Structure 1
Amino acid sequence: MDAVTLTVKSNKQRIVEMLQALTTAHVLRIMQQLDKRADEAAELVYMIAFDVLCERIGWQKAEEYSDEIMRGGVK
C-alpha cells in the first residue's frame, strides 16, 4: 500500500472511533448544527436566486414574483 492509501485508511479509522465515542447528546447537538447550517444554506440559495431574478427581470417584478411564491407558489 502506498502512503496515500494508508493515510485514508488511518483517517477512516479515526472517524469510526470518534463516531463510536459519541453519546446521544453529541448526536443531537450535531443534528441541531446540521439543521442550522441547512437553514443558512437555504437562505443563501434564496438570496442568490433573488439576485439573479432581479438582474433578469428587474427588482420590482422580482419582488412581486417573490411575494407570489411566498403566498403559495406561481402557477
Structure 2
Amino acid sequence: MKEQLIAIVKEALELENENVSLTDHLSSYESWDSLGRLSLMALIDESFDIQLSDEEFNSFETIEDLHKALVAKKQ
C-alpha cells in the first residue's frame, strides 16, 4: 500500500519527476492546495475505496500520517 500511496500522491500533486517519501510534509509541495487536496482525496477513494472526511484529511501533516489512517480504515 505504501508504494501505491506514494504513486497516488505523485499523480494527484503532479510530482512525477520528484522524489516522494512517507516522511514528506504535504504542505512542503507547491501543489498542495485545495485542488491538489481534492484530487488526492478522489484518487484515494478510487484506488482504495476509502472515504476520508475533510476534518481527517486536514489533520494529516505527512504522507505517513495519511498512510496510517488508510491502514486503520482498511482493517
Output the TM-score relative to the length of structure 1.
0.28
**Higher relative contact order, chain-length normalized (CA < 8 Å, sep 6+):** 2
**Structure number having the greater helix percentage:** 1
Larger Rg: 1 or 2?
Answer: 1
Please give the TM-score of this superposition, normalised by the length of structure 2.
0.28
